[in-house]
Structure formats: C-alpha cells, structure tokens
Structure 1
Amino acid sequence: MKKLVPKLRFFSSSSSSSSLIIPGCSNIPKPIYNPLYNLLPQTQNPNKIVDVICSALNHRDHSILLPSLRDEVQSLIPHLGYPEISRVLLRFQSDASRALAFFKWVKLDLGKRPNIGNYCLLLHILASSKKFPLAMQFLCELIDLTSKEDEDLFSVLVSASDECNWDPVVYDMLVKGYLKLGLVEQGFKVFRKVISSGFSVSVVTCNHLLNGLLKLESMDSCWQVYNVMCRVGIHPNTYTFNILTNVFCNDSNFREVDDFLEKMEEEGFEPDLVTYNTLVCSYCRRGKLKEAFYLYKIMYRRRVVPDLITYTSLIKGLCKDGRVREAHQTFHRMVDRGIKPDCICYNTLIYAYCKEGMMQQSKKLLHEMLGNSIVPDRFTCKIIVEGFVREGRLHAAVNFVVELRKLRVTVPFEVCDFVIGSLCREGKPFAAKHLLERISEEEGHEAKPETYNTLIESLSRCDAIEEALLLKGKLRNQNQVLDVKTYRALIVCLCRKGRNREAECLMSEMLDSEVKPDSFICGALVNGYCKELDFVKAESLLGLFALKFKIFDTESYNSLVKAICDTGSGYNKVLELQERMQRLGFVPNSLSCKYLIQVLEQPSLPNHPPED
C-alpha cells in the first residue's frame, strides 16, 4: 500500500504546504521548541500546548469546553498550528466524542481552519468508532472545500491511516461522498483509485455510481464499473442489473440485451417488474412493438404482473405508431384487469385522438376522467383546445373552455390566452374580449400585456377603434407599455377613419414611451393627410421620419407625389417637391417617374413647361 500511494507530509507546518484548504492560513507560525519556555507556567508554555488541551479535555465535560478552555490557553492559541491539532486528535483517537469536540472547538470557537490532514485524521477516528453519519458529514464538508482545487483526498486519507486507527469502509464512504454531492466524474476517478489500491467498495456504492454515470450518459464508464465489479468480486444485485438494463436500452448495443438477461439469470437473478418495464419502454420508444408485446406476454408466463407503467408504455408506443384504436383496446384491457389509469395514461390517448382529428373521442375520454375522479391537468386542456383550433373549430374550442369551467375544472390561463389569440387572428375580437372579461371577473386572473396588445390589434383591424382605445387606456393606467405593433394598428385604423390628428397625437405618445415608429406608421399618416389634401403636413411628416428616424419610405413619397398630381397642381410643383425630397435623401423610383410623365402629358395645365 505504501508503494501505491505516496505519503504526504500533511503534518508539516510549513506555510507553503499544498494541503492547506483555505487561503490565508499560511501565516500560522511553526511549532517552537525552546527550552527556555519550560521556565514559564504550563498554561503559558508553547511546548506544553498539546498537554494543556488534552488535560482540559480529560478532566472536564467536553460539552462545556468552549468558553473556559479558550480563557485558560489564551496566550497559547497563536501557537496552535496544524501539527498541534493533529497531535491532539491522535491522543483521542480512541475517544471519538472528545476528538470531535476539540475539532469543532478549533473550527467554530477559535475560527481556525483545519487542513486536509486534520480532516482526514478526524474521518479515520469517526469511521473506526462506527460514527458513520458524522464521518460522512465531515467528508462531504471536506470534498466541498476542496472540489475546486487539485487535491488528492484519497492519497491524504491513505497517508493518515499510518498514524491512527482506521476502518477500510472510509474509502467506500469517500466514493459515496463525491456521488452524494453530485460530483459523479470525480467519484468515478476515486473509485478507480480505491480499487487499484486494493480496497473494496460496496455494491450499494457501485449502484449509486452506475446510476450517476447513466444519468450523464457515460455508457462506456458504466461497463467499466461493471467489469471491475466482476473482476474484484463485488457481487451485483437486482438493482445493479436493472441499472445495467437501462444502460443497454440507452446504448447502441441494444440487440445484445437478450444475452445480458441470460447472463443475469445465470447469476441467479430473475428479471423483475422494473427490468421488464425498462425493456418494454425502450422497445416502444424505438418502435419495436412486436418485441414489446412479446415481453408483455412473457411477464405473465413468469408471474410478473404488468402494472400501470407497462400498459402506459404500450399505449404510448401504439399511439406513436398511429394505431390509436389498438391503443384504446389495450387501455380497456388494462382497466378490465383492475389497473386504474392515471392522468398521464389518459393524456396519451387523448393526444393521439386529437392528432388524428377525432375530437369527440378526446372529449369522451376527458368526461371519463372526471367520472373516475381524475382531475385533468394543464396538458389535457391544452391538447384538446389546440386540437379544436387545428381542425378549424374555433367555436367548439370556446364552448369547450366554457364547459370545463362549468364542470369546475381549472383551465390554465395560458389555454384561455391561446383561445383569445386564436379568436383575434380569426377576426373575432369581441368574442375574445368577452371571454377575457369573463375569466378576469370569475377567477381574478389578470391578462398579460401581450394578450391586451393582441386584442387591441384585432379590434383596430375590425375598425372597432373606440373599444381598442379603451383597452389601450387601461394598459396605460397599469403603467404597461404598448408594443410597436399595437401602436401601428391603432394609428392605421385612426388614419383609415380620417382621424389623422388623433393618430399623430398617438404617435407622440408612442415616442414619449420610447417606442420607435416604422414605415407602416409613416405610410398611414402620410396617406391620411394626403386624403385631406394637406400636402404640407404630409411632406413635413416625411421629412420628420427621414431626419429623426432614418425611415425613407419611398411608397409614402410616391403617394404624396400622386396626390399632388391628381389635384392638377402642375409639373413645377411636383418637381419642386422632388428636389426637396432628394435633399433629404429620397431617391425617385420608376413609379415616381411615371407620375411625373403623367403630369407632362397634360398640356392644358397652366404650369406645363413650354415646348422647345
């Protein structure tokens, strides 16, 4: 053992020792052995600090040690370094309670941080005294302190065993400690060190390690652990084989699972319900339904009764394969055999029926759930509502939500929000508004700003501007900021109805809220003032959007050119506008030129340029 693990001089008081786990402890002085100190009283003699502390621990109740001992050795505390702490611990290795009391006194009352060597001595003392929970507590504390440092705890623990009584179970606990803290990869490294050094690890710890590696999807490492177990004589149990079955099912060598099961039976372990459920679930997930149902039949032959998990896996596999009616038959077979389905099982079937567009069957299953006192969850309501909407049956989706509420089933607000959004997209904002108000009044739910924004947009598109503005005011009163899409919908609607100045005021409000406009808002306002023949205002808005927001909307510019041309204002006026716009950065396109040509083709106009 000494050849395998180099001894660490963790008892050294050198300030450069690598075993210091807390920065800032390197200034603790080295032990001083000066003969002149022997002339001092014992409680002031640094050479006697270990004797004084041990004597105090021996002659008093260690549970009331803290205040009195500190006063007694006040002058010696600066001389209490790592070597002295270790010497005290070693003197009490046969009295774990006093050793632990001293360790806590140093750490909590004196505020000194023991190093790795001190911790390892305490761990050996606690483990050899069969105080395993306490040992695990301090082991986890040590691992947590050193997890971010490159410290070889195993080597220090082995070196400490040369100085005190020890129990080999402490090395099994070391692996378990890493796993308990979720440090699976470090635990695997320590496991290999422990095994290569000739120590043993319990099958329980191996199972924890296998489970951790499986969650990390380290399949190769799982097989390495299993091979080590076989090589060193750690006998696997049923739990081990169930974990390895999971490894097989998640590994690429899934075809070898039958050989593994035969080996499991050769070892004297019969596959249990967990084993079969793992395999059935994996077969169904991979679309191997024939193999899954074969195992299902084998379970009955071997007197392993399938449970809810087994049937749910089979039902899910059939639904995934599009065999919904067979899945429902399997569901009935499960019920006939006395197994009560849960919400997940019902949801599996309901989802499959919704996917096939069979909404009546989905609703029937939901009513069956309620009849069996199974409360539908968020997913149940969501998939049925989405199914109705996907089938274009929006009215049925609304009625379904109302029906659930009458049945006192809590409908998640996200489902109601989805229905409201769907109604808005279908151009039915008043139905959406009514549903929102009803939910808000009865359940006290306050809709998200996004829901109100969607509703305002839909009302604006339907020219219901007064209702849209009321909702906008409600949001503003709640200090909620409208997004650019909502402002755009309101402004476009106002301009369409000839309320251009209200639209412009709304744009000012939008700018005050630090929401930037876009080209659609520019186009709506320009077109609105063009219809009023207020070309000066339309031109000023084009300039504002170009200079302040860098929005050069050629379509709006062309609308202004066309409006001027349609009034018969003449070529010169259009040409002057074009020059002003070019100075701002507008570039005429083919449509702009077309409008100018149309003006030139009108010789009766007074402003027509003379012919050459």
Structure 2
Amino acid sequence: MKRVSVKAASVLRDVGFSKHSSSSLEIIVKPVVLNPLYNLLPQTQNPNQIVDVICSTLKQRDVDFVLSKSLIPHLGNREISRVLLRFQSDASRALTFFNWVKFDLCKRVNVGNYCLLVHVLTWSKKFPLAMQFLCEVIELANEKEEEEDVFSVLVSATEECNWDPVVFDMLVKGYLKLGLVEDGFLAFRKVIGSGFRVSVVTCNHLLNGLLKLDLMDDCWQVYRVMCKVGILPNTHTFNILTNVFCNDSNFGEEVGVFLEKMEEEGFEPDLVTYNTLVSSYCRRGRLKEAFYLYKIMYRRRVVPDLVTYTSLIKGLCKDGRVREAHQTFHRMIDRGIMPDGISYNTLIYAYCKEGMMEQSKRLLYEMLGNSVVPDRFTCKIIVEGFVRERRLLAAVSFFVELRRLKVTIPFEVYNSLIESLCREGKPFAAKHLLERISEEEGYEVKPETYDNLIESLSRCDAIEEALLLKEKLTSLDVKTYRALICCLCRFGRNREAESLLTEMVDSEVKPDSFICVALVSGYCKELDFAKAESLLSFFAIEFRIFDTESYNLLVKAICEMGSGYNKVLELQDRMQRVGFVPNSLSCKYMIQGLKPLM
C-alpha cells in the first residue's frame, strides 16, 4: 500500500518533531544544552547525554537495566520519543524501554510516545502488540479534556520514523474494538481522505457496528466510499448491506435491483442473504414476496434451512394463518429439517392465542417426543392461554402432567398461575398448588404470593385459612390488611378486626377509607354507635381520612333506631368539630328519621 500525499494538521512539539527541519536525524542526535557545567559531570549523571546513556544501557542488557536516579527527573516525553526513534529496527528493546518508563518509573507517557511505539511495532510486524497499544492510546486520548487526534499524531510521526500503512487500517479497527463506532467512522473518513487504504475486513466491521446503531445512511456512505477508492466488497459485505437494505424504509421496491447489483459485483446471493430478505418480508407482513423468494432459492440451488422455515412460520402465524403455518411446519420436517424450540414455540403461541389449547398440548407432547425441551417461554404461553380461556383448573392438571413427564417448570410460571387462580376466586386450588411445589421442589414462597393468597381467601370468606397464612408473614401490606379486616367485619368479628387495625398502625402501615367503612359498618350493625363514632374521629384526626360514606352509615343507623332528633344533631355537631361536613344524603337520612315523630 502506498501513501498518496500526507500533510499532518499539527506537529508533535513535545515529541521533538519539526516539519521545518532539514534533517530529522539532526533533531534526534543533537543534544539540548541545559547548562554547560553539566559537561563536567560523569556521563551517567549528565542529562545532556541521557538518550545516549539509555540507548547504550539497552544495547548491553536485555531487561532490568539500571540508571542513575539523578537522570530520571530529566527524562521527559521528548527524551522518551528520541530513545524510541533510536530503536526503530529493534522493537523488543523499544518495548522494554517503554514498559520500564511506564511501569517502573510510573511516568505518564503521552499520545506522541504511544504513536511512535505503535509505528515501531507495526514496522516490525508485531501486529497484536501494536493493536494493544493502539487501543491504549485511543483511550488515553479520549480521557483528556482537550481530546488529541490520534490520527493526526500518527501521520505526523511518519515524517520521523519507519512506518507501515497498515497502522491506519488498525486505527479504525481499534476504535471499533473499543466499541467507539462513531469515532471509528470518523477515523475511516480521515484515513480514506488522506489517501490511505482500509481493508475490506475492517470495512465490514465498521458496517456491522453502524448497522447495530441504526445508522443506515452512514452504512451506505461507507459502501459508496469503498466503491470509489477500489476496496472490493466480499460476500460478508453484501450480507451486512442486505440487513441495512432490509431496515430501509424503501425496502421491497428495489430488492431486485439490489440482488442484480450483487451479481454484477460477482457475488451470488447465499443462504444468509435470502434468509435476511425472507425474514424482513415476513416481519412486514409481505408473505407473497417472502414465499416467492423461498421458491427462487430452490431454483438457485440454495436450500432453505431451519431459519428460513421459522421466518415463514412466524409470518403466517402473525397473519392469523395458523393452519398454513402448521402445514409449512410439516413441510419442513418432510424435507429432513428437525424443528427446534423456537419453531415449536411459534406454533404453540399461535394456537394458544387462537384459544386452540388442545392443539397446543399436542404440539408440546410432540416436542417432548422429539427430545426438544420446553423452555420458560413454552410454559408461560400455555399458562397465559389457559388463563385467557378461563380454564385455570385445566392448567393445574396440565402442569401436574408435565411434572409427571419430568418437565421442569420455572417458578415464575408457577407464580403467574397462582396469581391467576387467586384473581379468579380459586384460592384453595392456588393454595394446594403452592403447598405441592413447596414440598416437592423446595420452592421458597415469596411474601407477595402469600399476600395474593390471603386476599383471595378473604374475598371468598375463608377467614380461618387466611389468618393461618398471615402467621407465615412478618409484615403485610395495606391490601392484605384491608382484605382481612373487611372479611372479619362481614362475619361480625369487629374486635378482631380492630385489633388488626392496631397492629397495622403499630407497623406504620397507613389504613385507607375502605377499612374505615368496614369497621364503622360492623359496629353500626352491633348498634355500638359510640365505638363507630370513636373510629370515625380516630381516622379523621390521625390519618386525615374524612370518609363521608362511613359518616352517613352512622347517621342512618342512629336515625333508623329512632334515637331522637337531638341525638342526631349532637352527633352532627361533634363530627363538624372533627372536620366532617354533612351532605344531601345525610340530610335525607335525618328527615327520614324525623317522620315517625311527626
């Protein structure tokens, strides 16, 4: 590879390069006189001779060389670069020196020092080491507040040292290796713009990175540059571009043109190309075009594989054509391609979505017969199918059958089924399932599961079972307390309910208006109006809960007992002091209470 005319944008002053000097060698060997009196010192203590001393020491020893400590303060970035330039043809000694400076002396080497070492290593064909240090210098440049342009520094260094053009290809690859795709794209443009070449492998890496970032326009720009500068694409290039093409909004109208372009370049579309196009057509619901390509594949002697058929099956299922999808599934098996978990799950999901649970079950048994293990998704979609059909007990029986067949069912799927059973008012089935998996599989029940179960049992008036489960919890949430208190009040067990309220307040769980209604209603049924009034005041003062429904329940109960107009007015006066304001319903109850007295 040849460099076309390169002029760097900036000069590495701290490295000691000068584009105005007539001879780069003169810069390297000419000592900088710090003080004439230093010449009277021994050579090993003279900073004017530090480069010569280091180079001489390096030539005598392979590793672990020792210098006078008096010289170390005078070893700056400029001197480091001069030593590296002396060992352009001896990469091992250059590397030994660089590591000694960096690790033994703990000196901060700069971007210019790194770039010189990278050039030395690439010139000596030590490409893995060169890439390692190239990645380090990229990270070093990115850490600085004023970011140094590694490309410009590498270009400037070429005026002073031996170099291999492959270093610029490696620079782009280094950015991509570090995940800096957009910086890699910028470096690619600089490298090409300066007349250097980039390999097709690096271009493919760049295209792939841009594709993952959804930068489609940049992908096409890279491809156009490749064509312009004569970087010949390969099959991998076109397969990446096929993905780019499929993500383009104009996909579909120019597929034929794109495939013709591939053939003009001398590349036949392969299995990866066709699979990408078929998958894209299916995702967009263009099944006619997808099946047309499927037929073309056979004509081109490209045999469809599991990926091709799975894409077609998914497309048909998404379009609601489940029976056709199953026929395609059987056609795949007839052609000697064994389905995997994804293809089975696709069909099972489609049948469950259509409410065809028997077909889903048959497919799962067929799956097991072919030694394809159902995964988390398989179990989840079957549970969801049974729930949609409101056949929860059938789901429990089915799971028992799966356990008999040694199928491992994930705990989160069990949780989902237990929650559905509780929601649908089948707490005893949920409790039985929970006990079974706890005993047989050592399942550790989560507090939320107990909360759901207690709430469901309470709604079904199974208060004793709910209270027994409560003992297994160290803390309850407001929903669980509410369910228990409301259930106890329905049974007239108001004092137990009130004790739960006390426990709730002690646990710093704030009650709500539903709990207030349940307790007031419960005591009103007992005709204990004083307790009901006391609770109304407690909720208002302690929690700022002014529940009008509870207040009206108390007014109505007093009026219905014929306790007298004065008692109702006294109650109203006391409640107004707490903050309650009577409404139209309160007045209605009071008027109805006065009628027997008239």
Choose the corresponding residue for 2:92, options 84, 94, 97.
97
User: Could you tell me which residue of structure 2 aligns to residue 610 of structure 1?
Assistant: none
| Aligned partner letter, 2:542 | K
CA shift for structure 1 position 42 = 1.7
CA shift for structure 1 position 34 = 1.3
CA shift for structure 1 position 212 = 0.7
CA shift for structure 1 position 317 = 0.8
User: Could you tell me which residue of structure 1 aligns to residue 62 of structure 2?
Assistant: 61
Tell me if structure 2 keeps the 8 A contact 1:90–1:121.
Answer: yes
CA shift for structure 1 position 564 = 1.4
Distance 1:4 1:587 in 2: 87
User: Could you tell me which residue of structure 1 aligns to residue 463 of structure 2?
Assistant: 465
User: Could you tell me which residue of structure 1 aligns to residue 300 of structure 2?
Assistant: 302
Distance 1:279 1:337 in 2: 21
Does 2:43 correspond to 1:45?
no
User: Could you tell me which residue of structure 1 aligns to residue 22 of structure 2?
Assistant: none
Does 2:340 correspond to 1:342?
yes
Distance 1:103 1:384 in 2: 63
Distance 1:536 1:73 in 2: 97
CA shift for structure 1 position 12 = 5.4
Does 2:14 correspond to 1:11?
yes
Tell me if structure 2 keeps the 8 A contact 1:495–1:524.
Answer: yes
Structure 2 residue matching 1:475: 3-state secondary structure:
coil
TM-score when normalising by structure 1: 0.92
Structure 1 residue matching 2:217: 3-state secondary structure:
helix
CA shift for structure 1 position 10 = 4.1
Tell me if structure 2 keeps the 8 A contact 1:245–1:257.
Answer: no
Q: Structure 1 540/2 Cα, relative in aligned 2: closer, same or farther at 3 Å?
A: farther
Distance 1:136 1:460 in 2: 68
Q: Can you list the C-alpha shifts for 1:209-262, whole angstroms capped at 9, x where unaligned?
A: 111111111111011000000000000000001111111110012121210110
Q: Can you list the C-alpha shifts for 1:544-583, whole angstroms capped at 9, x where unaligned?
A: 1111111100000111111211222111111011111111
The 5-angstrom pairing of residues 141-540 of structure 1 reads 141-149=136-144, 150-254=147-251, 255-476=253-474, 481-540=475-534
Distance 2:467 2:571 in 1: 36
| Aligned partner letter, 2:327 | Q
Structure 2 residue matching 1:166: 3-state secondary structure:
coil
Choose the corresponding residue for 1:589, options 554, 564, 583.
583
| Aligned partner letter, 1:405 | R
Distance 2:170 2:12 in 1: 23
Tell me if structure 2 keeps the 8 A contact 1:10–1:156.
Answer: no
| Aligned partner letter, 1:262 | E
Distance 1:415 1:177 in 2: 45
Choose the corresponding residue for 1:571, options 565, 574, 588.
565
Distance 2:509 2:479 in 1: 10
Distance 1:250 1:80 in 2: 55
Tell me if structure 2 keeps the 8 A contact 1:401–1:416.
Answer: no
Q: Structure 1 5/278 Cα, relative in aligned 2: closer, same or farther at 3 Å?
A: same
User: Could you tell me which residue of structure 1 aligns to residue 115 of structure 2?
Assistant: 120
CA shift for structure 1 position 4 = 4.2
Q: Can you list the C-alpha shifts for 1:5-49, whole angstroms capped at 9, x where unaligned?
A: 223224259xxxxxxxxxxxxxxxx97621111111222111122
Does 2:136 correspond to 1:138?
no
Structure 2 residue matching 1:601: 3-state secondary structure:
helix
Tell me if structure 1 keeps the 8 A contact 2:6–2:195.
Answer: no
TM-score when normalising by structure 2: 0.94
Distance 2:212 2:446 in 1: 38
Q: Structure 1 319/37 Cα, relative in aligned 2: closer, same or farther at 3 Å?
A: same
Q: Can you list the C-alpha shifts for 1:416-456, whole angstroms capped at 9, x where unaligned?
A: 11111111122111111010010111111112221111100
| Aligned partner letter, 1:428 | K
User: Could you tell me which residue of structure 1 aligns to residue 19 of structure 2?
Assistant: none
Distance 1:540 1:147 in 2: 70
Structure 1: stretches of 5+ with no match in the other structure: 14-29, 605-612
CA shift for structure 1 position 413 = 1.2
Distance 1:52 1:529 in 2: 101
Q: Structure 1 358/10 Cα, relative in aligned 2: closer, same or farther at 3 Å?
A: farther
Tell me if structure 2 keeps the 8 A contact 1:495–1:503.
Answer: yes
Output the aligned Cα RMSD.
1.6
Q: Structure 1 4/90 Cα, relative in aligned 2: closer, same or farther at 3 Å?
A: closer
Q: Please, which moves more after superposition, 159-168 or 3-12?
A: 3-12
User: Could you tell me which residue of structure 2 aligns to residue 553 of structure 1?
Assistant: 547
Distance 2:585 2:471 in 1: 40
CA shift for structure 1 position 514 = 2.0
Structure 2 residue matching 1:147: 3-state secondary structure:
helix
Distance 2:101 2:330 in 1: 67
Tell me if structure 2 keeps the 8 A contact 1:490–1:503.
Answer: yes
Structure 1 residue matching 2:473: 3-state secondary structure:
helix
Q: Can you list the C-alpha shifts for 1:281-324, whole angstroms capped at 9, x where unaligned?
A: 11111111111111111111111111100010111111111111
Tell me if structure 2 keeps the 8 A contact 1:213–1:222.
Answer: yes
Distance 2:390 2:6 in 1: 77
Q: Can you list the C-alpha shifts for 1:499-542, whole angstroms capped at 9, x where unaligned?
A: 22221221222222221110001111111222222222211211
Distance 1:136 1:484 in 2: 60
CA shift for structure 1 position 129 = 0.7
CA shift for structure 1 position 148 = 4.6
Q: Can you list the C-alpha shifts for 1:35-80, whole angstroms capped at 9, x where unaligned?
A: 1111112221111222221111110122xx1xx51xx321211111
Structure 1 residue matching 2:125: 3-state secondary structure:
coil
| Aligned partner letter, 1:488 | R
CA shift for structure 1 position 600 = 2.3
Q: Please, which moves more after superposition, 223-232 or 423-432?
A: 423-432
